[in-house]
Amino acid sequence: MALDRDWHGAVARIQPLLASEATYEVCKLAGECYVQLQDFDKALQVLQAALAFDDRDEDPALYIRLGSVLLVKKRWNQARDAFLRSIQAKPTAEAWGGVAYAEFRSDQLSTYEALCEANLLDTERTDVWALLCLVHLRHENWDAADHACRQCLSLEPETELLLEVATELQRKERQMSLAEACARRALESKDTGQGHSVLADVLAQMGKAEASVLEAQVALKMLADQPDLRKVIFSKALKLCQELEDAPLTEALHACQKLADEQAKQPPA
């Protein structure tokens, strides 16, 4: 059933085995199913159980999956260790990228070295180029950051990191056209309220006030369940409306915020 991507059905079949005759392969398969279902607590539990079997081989894929789950749980150091165990069995760009991501989130200084190792193995990983861009921006290596950003944009988009690159470029007032391109590519990959909010900030920085307000309106509609974030977005957009002295735009902005407030009060389906 897992091969047919029927993850719920696969879990239903696997759970009795986990309770009665769990094996390494059963735990590993259960971990994959729970990851696909985004039940990361159970995924972590069964993947760690898989590691307890003495007769297993050192499976680099298992450690990569475990590391990915630990990243979701924001256990940066444990995730880094899991990826390093994978590398001991078989060096891969995916594992080195995982090491780099964990180190970047925990502000460790060896992030760049891990990214270089990943790039030696695979030069077409979007996450690696995005992280390289963020590292170079952090250290104000402008030319290297621009190169990494363009490499990132030439590949398949990775929403979270592209938005982070856009935000960092906007914050440092660097290459705003690249910041806009990053935000739009991220939105092409996944349409999110956060993405529209980031794009609104970038457009405002570029002096495109009306376009910024329109993006903010979309963000407000999509972020009904995040009132604190909406308050910040609304405040920025309202200031732009006042500067533009555009009454219809201001009215539309208020309407979007009111609609989002009403949606937030509705009980979940």
pLDDT in tens, 145-158: 999 999 999 998 88
Q: Calculate the alpha carbon distances from 126 to 129, 154, 182, 195 in Å.
A: 5, 9, 12, 17
Confidence band, pLDDT 50/70/90 cuts, at residue 56: low
Question: Could you check whether 126-190 and 191-264 share the same CATH topology?
Answer: yes
Task: State how far the Cα of 218 lies from the Cα of 175, in Å rounded to an integer.
Answer: 24
Domain ranges of the chain: 126-190, 191-264
Query: Does the pLDDT of residue 116 top 90, yes or no?
Result: yes
Task: State how far the Cα of 250 lies from the Cα of 86, in Å rounded to an integer.
Answer: 54
In this prediction, residue 2 carries a pLDDT of 47
Query: Does the pLDDT of residue 198 top 70, yes or no?
Result: yes
Q: Could you write out the DSSP letters of every residue in 90-107?
A: ---HHHHHHHHHHHHHTT
Task: State how far the Cα of 51 lies from the Cα of 62, in Å rounded to an integer.
Answer: 9
As assigned by CATH, the class of the 191-264 domain is: mainly alpha
- CATH level 3 topology of 126-190: 1.25.40
Task: State how far the Cα of 115 lies from the Cα of 171, in Å rounded to an integer.
Answer: 23
Q: Classify 146 as helix, strand or coil.
A: helix
Q: What is the pTM of this model?
A: 0.86
Kindly state the percentage of the chain with pLDDT values over 90: 73
